[in-house]
Amino acid sequence: MNELKTIREYYRPIQPTVSANDNEISYQESKPNKEIENLIYCFWQLKTQKPLNSDYNYRVVSDGCIDIFFDHKQPTENFVMGFCRKFIQFPIGKDFDFIGIRFLPSAFTHLFGVDAKTLSNQSQELNKILPNFSEWINSKIKPADSFENITKILNEKLIEFSKLQNISYDHRFLDSLNLIFKRNGFLDTEKDLNTGISPRQLRRIFNFYIGTTAKSFSNVVRFQYILNAKPSKQSLKENKLYFDVGFFDQAHFIKNFKTYYGVTPSEAFG
């Protein structure tokens, strides 16, 4: 699993759409145990503090990851969401409590052997993809358990499961992935990813491990780099951070950002 170490070192996939000072909805993340930190970015919980007056539309921004998530009150309702090439918004009701596992890019496929392309741009019932894991959630997660206790159970399960897997790594793929992270997604994937494989092979292995092409994934990495910089509306105007990662003008940057976030940079950072 050390082969995946640089992913965590270079990449921090964030979901910023719930504000920390929202007193009606809370979002929190918990780090995984050391043994699986190169596979799992975090465990997360999104829940209402009290029933809302109207249905909540939750917006998921593009983060390059695959997530397993379930309804804490009804763990039989469990799902997997694949790589998304644009933001996704869906109504989740007035009263909810979801818990999830965010896998670092390529970790889900390395761990479970599932072709990531079959999961892309959608959420599916977990029992259709990983019936055993879905059944395990049904039997082990209790609605009365605290988030802290559930993360402990999930950590133990994933550590035990990962030890049983004989994971094989394609180093040409991992070298390409690391280069994308080191360049913050700003590179010509046809020319710069010269790691000993043809463009056709590159497309095939990125689709298998990530769920999209190297180019499409690089664009999400570049978007996440901007999010991680935590710019303000003012600093974006002054520093023009987007020039550093290959945007030629502000209009091009705004259009691209809106694809991945769902709102303009000034709405997101205002």
The 10s digit of each residue's pLDDT in 185-226 is 998 888 888 777 888 999 999 999 999 999 999 999 999 998
d(CA 201, CA 59): 33
104 DSSP 8-state letter: P
For the segment 2-14, the average pLDDT, to the nearest whole number, is 89
For the segment 16-25, the average pLDDT, to the nearest whole number, is 78
* pTM, to two decimals: 0.94
For 132, other C-beta atoms within 10 Å of its C-beta total: 10
Among 52-61, 104-113, 153-162, 238-247, where is mean pLDDT lowest? 238-247
Q: Which residues contact 31 (CB under 8 A, 6 or more apart)?
A: 37, 42
Percent of the chain exceeding pLDDT 90 equals 70
For the segment 124-149, the average pLDDT, to the nearest whole number, is 97
The 10s digit of each residue's pLDDT in 67-104 is 999 999 999 999 999 999 999 998 899 999 999 999 99
The whole-number pLDDT of residue 194 equals 76
The whole-number pLDDT of residue 191 equals 83
- Tell me if 52 sits within 8 A of 64, measured CB to CB: no
Beta strands 40-48; 97-103: pairing state? antiparallel
Among 99-108, 130-139, 141-150, 196-205, where is mean pLDDT lowest? 196-205
